Amino acid sequence: MRAAAIQLEPVIADVAANLEASERLADAAAADGAELIVLPEFFTTGIAFDTRLADAALAPDGAATDLLRDLALRHGALVGGSFLCRDPDGHVRNAFLLAGREGAILGRHDKDLPTMWENAFYVEGDDDGVIEAGDFTAGAAVCWELMRSQTARRLRGRIDMLLAGSGWWSIPEWPPRAVTRRMEAANARTAAIVAERFARLVGAPVVHAAHAGPIECAMPGTPIRYRGRLQGGAVIADADGRVLARRDRREGPGHAIADITVGRVAAQDEVPDRYWLHRRGAMGTYAWHFQRLHGRRWYARHTAHRPPLDVQGERRSPAAAA
């Protein structure tokens, strides 16, 4: 199967602009022969600690789902990606949907745990990330799910390909700059290898979409401004972890494309007996705990139980949302 992983430079919280860019990039991948197209995590919004994201979630049957279905039907391809999805219970989840070649939604996976400031904008999911797609079984995992052993354990030996997407941000260059530069170098190295390493843990090819480009936002719970970038690195790897295609963040929007062999093999690596597959570093560890606590309180006050957005920027009524 010819697979494409999209790299998007999002306009934070601008749903209409991001839907248009996602459609254009997916069309270009299909023109290159892609039969499977994966959009990145948060393809409708991008990700930052931006208060506008509290109002940017779409309904399960809204514009993001329509785009996935339309693209699949237009190109006779499988098309997937995750977005902030406000469900009828009023809560937002980071929902990965996969559309089949005839435009039907084949399955959904909700990211298990929000990462850092993401806690301000959605709640955790509890499914296993396995999607039956006709003659093969797909797995779905989003961003830092590729960092956790529990994800590898629930997918290992059960899937024929893994569909993934990230919105992974950098560590800013704060004083002492020599220290934060070293931290960011390690962070960037981890972001670059998680997809290929995960293939060896689950025994299946990985198609990993990504966000690139600069971002600036508030830092949760502080007066400090964050200025950094989204790491990019759309990657396609085979079941042995060999990289078949990669798009560097500096190449900007576009796609990585390669032919993959669909099917599971014996996993090359054992899942380690620890929570994290990769070291997070001191900054990542601090942010994981502090921003999680801050974000959950912020979510309860500002994000939960608001009407979903439609693509024109209007609010659905509560009755329509249900």
Which string of DSSP letters, residue by residue, matches 43-65? Answer: TTT--SS-GGGGG--B-TTSHHH
Residue 42 near residue 62 (C-beta atoms within 8 A)? no
39 pLDDT above the threshold of 60: yes
316 pLDDT above the threshold of 60: no
Tokens of 153: 């354990």
Question: Reduced to 3 DSSP states, what percent helix, strand and coil does the chain have, rounded to the nearest 5?
Answer: 35, 30, 40
pLDDT value of residue 132: 97
Q: What mean pLDDT is predicted for residues 19-27?
A: 98
Q: Which residues contact 250 (CB under 8 A, 6 or more apart)?
A: 232
pLDDT tens digit string along 239-282?
A: 999 999 999 999 999 999 999 999 999 999 999 999 999 998 88
pLDDT tens digit string along 279-300?
A: 988 889 989 999 999 999 999 9
321 pLDDT above the threshold of 50: no
pTM for the model: 0.95
Residue 163 near residue 133 (C-beta atoms within 8 A)? no
Burial class of residue 16 (count of CB atoms within 10 Å of its CB; 0-12, 13-18, 19+): middle
pLDDT tens digit string along 165-182?
A: 999 999 999 999 999 999
Domain at 2-304: CATH architecture: 4-Layer Sandwich (3.60)
pLDDT value of residue 172: 93
- Of 122, 131, 128, residue with least CA distance to 58: 122
Where does the pLDDT of residue 233 fall: very low under 50, low under 70, confident under 90, or very high at 90 and above? very high
pLDDT value of residue 192: 95
